[in-house]
Amino acid sequence: MLIWQILILIFFSFVLIKSAEWIIVSLRRIAKRSKVGVFAISAIILAVGTSLPELFVGITSAIEGVPNISLGVVLGSNIANTALITGLVALILGKINVHGEYLKRDVFMALVAGLFPLALMADGILGRVDGLILLFVYASYTASFFKDKFAEITNEHSRESFFYKFLRQMNHIDFDITKEYGKLFISLALMLFSSQQIIGASEKLAVSIGIPIFVVGLIILAIGTSLPELVFSLRSVKGGEPKMFFGNLLGSTIANSTLIVGLTAVISPITITSFGDYRNAVIAFVIIFLSFWFFIRSKHRLDRLEGLILVVMYLIFVTIEFVF
């Protein structure tokens, strides 16, 4: 049984890596043809795709009446993405170059989004109205990427009838880019299915060797749902596409905190019985994210030393959560 779980981990890790490579190729082609940009495509399509494990865990835990798991996984994944995933990528590859306007807007937006659900539940409940507010925030963030493109289309074709616009758009469908979208979603499906298999095998492996279930939830589940981000981050930075890495990192944080938590709250309002469970995690998220922000703004890159600092900060966070 133990050997079987190890074989499952190895096989699906290979599938995960290959699907990440296919996603990078498709994203490059889509960004080139759509002229939206690699960062925007990564921050929207890929970020939502790699956040589906968090969505599944969040909705399931909310329906089953254990909201601490729902919010805990989202907050834990945001911390893992920022500290552990980013730190490991910098340690393994040596450095991550940082260039682009997203330094000014999207990093700040990710920090605010990460804390926004906690502010909304100050009254002890994250209700359906709060969930709709979070969904509106995510929709506004997504729409901001296409604001200029929408304005351009509106100005250019303002005098055309709706019927004429529809026919003209149908006449100019780019079937090559449609095919790339198909490849992208198939690769995402493989990536997510593989990550789910790895999570399940890891949990069974942990139980079989006697690791406490608390540690399984805190470490394996939070890190497990971040596996797609880790594999994709390594492949994108190594492939010379750091914008994909930062687009996915920041987009996932925003999607987790607004889209995932928002959908969960709309489906099943979340009542918070104790804020003490989140105190250390909230403090850790703020400190880690501000440190990450300082690192990338100071030198416009992350090197091995800064990656090591982020990993150590994550290990300290896990230790504190386990001990206290």
Mark 244-256 as b/e (b = at least 16 C-beta within 10 Å). bbbbbbbbbbbbb
Mark 120-158 as b/e (b = at least 16 C-beta within 10 Å). bbeeeebbeebbebbbebbeebbeebeeeeeeeeeeeee
Least confident of 107-111, 161-165, 255-259: 161-165
The whole-chain average pLDDT of the chain stands at: 75
Q: Can you give the pLDDT at residue 222?
A: 72
Q: What proportion of the chain, given as a percentage, has pLDDT over 70?
A: 62
Q: What is the pLDDT of residues 45-72, one digit of tens each?
A: 666 666 666 666 666 666 666 656 667 7
Q: Can you give the pLDDT at residue 136?
A: 94
Q: Can you give the pLDDT at residue 42?
A: 58
Are 261 and 58 spatial neighbours (Cβ–Cβ below 8 Å)?
Answer: yes
Task: Quickly tell me which residue has 């303002």 as its tokens.
Answer: 158
H or E element, residue 95: strand 95-97
pTM of the full structure: 0.71
* Tokens read off for 79: 């911390």
* Tokens read off for 47: 């970020």
* Environment class of 198 (CB within 10 Å of its CB; exposed 0-12, middle 13-18, buried 19+): buried
* Tokens read off for 249: 């990192």
Q: Can you give the pLDDT at residue 310?
A: 95
CA distance 298 to 198: 37
* Tokens read off for 12: 């699906």
Question: Considering Cα of 8, then 10, then 12, then 13, what sign does the dihedral take?
Answer: positive
Greater confidence, 72 or 100?
Answer: 72
Domain ranges (residues) in the chain:
39-173+222-323
CA distance 164 to 166: 5
Q: At residue 131, what is the residue type?
A: G
Q: Where does the pLDDT of residue 88 fall: very low under 50, low under 70, confident under 90, or very high at 90 and above?
A: very high
Q: Is the pLDDT of residue 115 over 50?
A: yes
Query: Which residues does 58 contact at the CB level (< 8 Å), separation at least 6?
Result: 70, 71, 73, 74, 260, 261, 263, 264
The CATH number given to 39-173+222-323 is 1.20.1420.30
